Amino acid sequence: MAGDRPHCRGRGGDATDLLITAGYRVGGDLCRPLLDALPPVAVVRPDPGLSTLLDLITAEVEHDEPGQQVVLDRFLDLLLVRALRTWFAHPGTTPPPGYRALADPDIGHVLRRLHEEPARPWTVASLANEAGMSRTAFARRFSALVGRPPLAYLTDWRMALAADRLREPGMTVAEVGREVGYADGFAFSAAFKRVRGLTPSAHRDTAG
């Protein structure tokens, strides 16, 4: 991420340009849909919200005070989120699956619940109840907004979480399976292989 804000006052009092750069460590299966939806370079023109953040960053950079790095880190996180929002609002861009559905009050609520509690034994009926809709109407609306049926989306989300957790040292297949909603390692392994085409152990070996 990079940006610029003209007419920042330098330490000598002279007007200068401020170049903002930031790097983020990204990787793993959870980040993949977002990265796949972005071009190598995305040029975002500042809207009022972005301009305000750039002003705040400029003001913070001009004075060395305690906690400055913490403040700048939070501002840059906000700047990244606002820039991504602006980018995906452009006509012709294709956001990650489920992105636009988050703005829907009913389906967005259900997506957040799935993300918060992936291991819960969700059914289409229980998800429809969360949305306050009939089972049929919910399934139709979810599929239209997200691009896949509710339980298929949940399975993909669980497998993405599991794929990242399997890369962590010390995590067993059974532990990862329980974290994402499977009663034992055998059921999880079968589901993982069906979705990903390889066993959890094989995935861990290739990731390592």
Candidates 122, 201, 168, 160; CA nearest to 32 is 160
At residue 14, does pLDDT exceed 60?
no
Question: CB count, 10 Å around CB of 32?
Answer: 15
**Structure confidence at residue 3 (pLDDT):** 53
pLDDT range class, residue 33, cuts 50, 70, 90: confident
SS3 assignment, position 11: coil
Q: Tell me: pLDDT of 8 over 70.
A: no
Task: State percent of the chain over pLDDT 90.
Answer: 55
Long-range contacts of 44-51 (CB under 8 A, 24+ apart): 44/83, 44/86, 44/87, 45/86, 47/82, 47/86, 49/82, 50/79, 50/82, 50/83, 50/86
Both tokens of 155, joined, read: 């399975």
CA–CA separation, 158 vs 154, rounded Å? Answer: 6
Q: CA of 148: how far to CAs of 38, 43, 98, 154, in Å?
A: 21, 30, 9, 10
Q: Give yes or no for residue 61 having a pLDDT over 60.
A: yes
- Residue 146: what pLDDT? 93
Q: Is the pLDDT confidence value at 15 over 70?
A: no
- Listed range (41-55, 103-117, 129-143, 172-186) with the worst mean pLDDT: 41-55
At 206 the pLDDT is 81
Assign 7 a pLDDT band (cuts: 50, 70, 90): very low
E-strand ranges in 67-149 read none
| Span 137-165, average pLDDT | 95
Phi and psi (nearest 5°) for 7? 70, 35
Q: Is 90 exposed, middle or buried (0-12, 13-18, 19+ CB in 10 A)?
A: exposed
Which residues partner with 21 through β-bridges? 2
- Closest by CA to 21, choosing from 44, 46, 2, is 2
